[in-house]
Structure 1
Amino acid sequence: MNRAGAPEAPPAAPPQRVDVVAVAVYLLVAFGAAWLVTLPLWTSGRGLQTPGAVFLMAAMMAAPTLGVLVVVGVLRRRPGTAHATGLRSPGGIRSWWRWGLLAWLGPLVLAAASVALAAAVGVYQPDLEHFSGLAETLRNQGAGALPVSLGVLAALQLAQVLVIGWVNVIPALGEEWGWRGWLLPQLLPLGRWPAVLAVGVVWGLWHAPVLLLGYNYPLHSGPVRVLLMVGMCVVLGSLLGWLRLRSGSVWPAAIGHGFVNAVAGLPILFSTAGVPVDNATTGLLGWTGWVVMALGLAVAGLVVGWRADRGRGTNGPGGPGPAPLPAGPARQAS
């Protein structure tokens, strides 16, 4: 019901073609805002060491949401946007909580598996006896004497991830409402996989303002960082896209995104002192993580498929189709 007590407009039939103008405006705003917000990192001469950099990067995560607001609030004003973009679901949280649970616990399992794979193939050297890498990191941060052993501290850090990670969900929603909430359904007329992969590529390229300053892959050059991030975003974006399509809600994707960010430092906990951890090979950012996530997606697709339950909203190809922005006389903003 809307504020006047009238029922909301029901979702329309899936779009048969991509709204090129709307997508172009969305991308222009999302990319432009990301560069604008991070401009102080470039002009300060200190890059990622600029005071307040963490807040600027958090603000950058809202750029995709700004793109959605411009498109649906100015360029294409239509009712029912919250439902069409998965921000709201007909059944509320009851319709997607199981997918949210999977998105909460899954990243830690995948991250642990990626670290194990990296160790098994020799691209990561763990120290499970002395936790010397963790000790080295704490010394570099100026930490004093610890009240518990390093092993206990590592275990506590793992447990805390499942709690503190919730802090990441809201900024992650700033991205997910744009990428998987709005853009993915808009591109589904191209086909499920072309849409999912295209969103992943765009998502990876969108990180360029901070990647070129050394973010995520400091051991590699700027162009290589961008390529690595595109690869990671294509694989992770496929998993998040599956959550979005399967649940009919953007919230499981936001939860998954938030907890992937929370487990990003997992390789440091078990590393060996003096041996740099290369994010290009270890953890979910690296190729071992891509392999693990791809296997996880394959298993998920085989076990439960891609299609949302009837009436859930967004569906993968082969089903009724995505829940698009509801039909109505689209108009250009004056």
Structure 2
Amino acid sequence: MSTPPAVAQPVLAPAPSLRRVLAFLGIALAVSTALSLPFAFGALPPAAVGLAVPLAQLSPLLAALLVRRRGAPWWRALALAVPSWRALGVAALAAIAAFVAVPLARVLIGLGAGAPPSADALPLSSLLLAVPAVLVMQSLFAIGEEAGWRGWLHGELRPLGFWPMSLLIGAMWAVWHAPIVLALGLAPREAVTYLGTIVAVAPLLSALREVSGTAWAAVLGHGLLNSARVAIEQNVLGPLEPGTAWLLDLSSWALWLAVAAVVLHLGGRRRATTPGAVSGAALPVR
């Protein structure tokens, strides 16, 4: 009689540690708040924010290194290993498509709603030269953030299921950004737009991390968010009426969430049909 094949048992991740999560957020928030105080009290001009932000972006990396469990190498705990270069390549293509398509859709919606074209847009040739350089710079700066948010914290909160996990990370990511937003004195509508976009984009970055198995896909997505998206949105449409601005914000937030769902779905189908796909516990979608 032949012996039946052994059934592979699912790999169960440990339950999230509230103490570790709160410690992570507390450390990262303390650093971002401390770096924001000189701007809040006028000791530094707003133009100096470019010096403070890269330092603040290292705080999630620092926090993750301090609170992580010591059972795995630090680069694995922060999802900085690359289990499959092919999966990372597919996620990179998905990131490029998403961070170009959603801003373009926002522009089309704006033009359809009667928004004026920009009167001082940069020439296309200048944008094509500038965006790759800005993308590289912004991606390098994003390593510290993504190693924490979509690296360690994603892995810690993974048992919650994709949507609770990714939206919770987005909410904490927005809270972490809040001190510098308040210190720079952004107008209420600008602050809501800025922080709301952070929450809405977070599931897409989590989906890129999930389908690739590494935080490097989220690093690229973060770089595209701060380069390609900004170039498209700020160089096509002119000043917006409040009603049109809110319409575009709500539309783009919905699009970011929809694209995240598509990337997660297609990435899950690809893993299910690709021989030799990276093994691991399936992420519950809730």
Shorter-normalised TM range: 0.7 to 0.9
Query: How far 1:109 sits from its partner (Å)?
Result: 2.5
1:102 to partner: Cα distance: 2.4
Equivalent residue number for residue 297 of structure 1: 260
Residue ranges of structure 2 left out of the alignment (5+ in a row) = 1-9
Q: In structure 2, what is the Cα distance between the partners aligned to 1:157 and 1:197?
A: 32
Deviations 1:271-290 (A, max 9, x none): 34xx358795487xx33321
Structure-1 separation of matches of 2:83 and 2:211: 14
Q: Secondary structure in 1 aligned to 2:226?
A: helix
1:242 corresponds to which of 207, 211, 220 = 207
Q: Corresponding residue for 2:72?
A: 79
Q: 1:56 matched to which residue of 2?
A: 52
In structure 1, distance between residues paired with 2:241 and 2:173: 24
Q: What is the 5 A alignment of 1:4-19?
A: 13-19=11-17
- Look up the match of 2:34: 36
Match of 2:250 among 287, 297, 301: 287
Q: Say whether residues 1:125 and 2:116 are aligned partners.
A: yes
2:209 touches 2:218 (CA, 8 Å); kept in 1?
Answer: yes
1:198 aligns with 2:196: no
CA distance in 2, matches of 1:237, 1:102: 15
Deviation at 1:161, TM superposition (A): 1.5
Aligned to 1:170: 140
In the alignment, structure 1 residue 104 sits paired with structure 2 residue 96? yes
Percent identity, aligned pairs only, is 26
Counterpart amino acid of 2:258? Answer: L
**Residue 47 of structure 1, CA deviation:** 5.0
Relative to structure 1, is the Cα distance of residues 234 and 313 closer, same or farther in structure 2, using a 3 angstrom cutoff? farther
Which of 89, 108, 120 is the aligned partner of 2:82? 89
Q: What SS does structure 2 have at the residue aligned with 1:207? A: helix
Query: Which residue in the other structure is 1:311 paired with?
Result: 278
Q: Is the 8 A contact 1:282 1:288 kept in 2?
A: yes
Question: Matched residue of 2:230: which SS?
Answer: coil
> Separation in 2 of the partners of 1:20 and 1:306?
32
Structure 1 pair 295/39, CA: closer, same or farther in 2 (3 Å)?
Answer: same
State the number of aligned residues: 270
What does 1:322-333 correspond to in 2, within 5 Å? none
Output the TM-score relative to the length of structure 1: 0.71
- Confirm or deny: 8 A CA contact 2:64 2:148 kept in the other structure: yes
Decide which moves more: 206-215 or 240-249: 206-215
Contact in 2 for aligned 1:110/1:293 (Cα 8 Å): yes
Aligned residue identity for 1:63: S
After TM superposition, where is structure 1 displaced by more than 6 Å over at least 4 residues in a row? none
Q: What is the deviation of 1:62?
A: 1.2
1:189 aligns with: 159
Structure-1 separation of matches of 2:269 and 2:149: 18
Matched, 1:256 2:221: yes
Q: Per-residue CA shift, 1:86-116, capped at 9, x if unaligned?
A: 200234x344122123223431232122111
Q: Deviations along 1:90-149, whole A, 9 cap, x unmatched?
A: 34x344122123223431232122111122233x3215xxxx233xxxxxxxxxxxxxxx
After superposition, the Cα gap between the structure-2 partners of 1:90 and 1:293, relative to the gap in structure 1 and judged at 3 Å, is closer
Give 3-state SS (helix, strand or coil) of 2:101's partner. helix
Q: CA RMSD in A?
A: 2.9
1:113 aligns with 2:112: no
Counterparts in 2 of 1:252 and 1:45: CA distance versus 1, 3 Å = same
Q: Tell me if structure 2 keeps the 8 A contact 1:246–1:306.
A: no
- How far did residue 166 of structure 1 move? 1.6
Structure 1 counterpart SS, 2:13? coil
Aligned: 1:69 with 2:65 = yes
Q: Which residue of 1 aligns with 2:178?
A: 208
Query: Which secondary structure does the structure 2 equivalent of 1:212 belong to?
Result: helix
Tell me the distance in 2 between the aligned counterparts of 1:287 and 1:71.
36
Amino acid across the alignment from 1:71: V
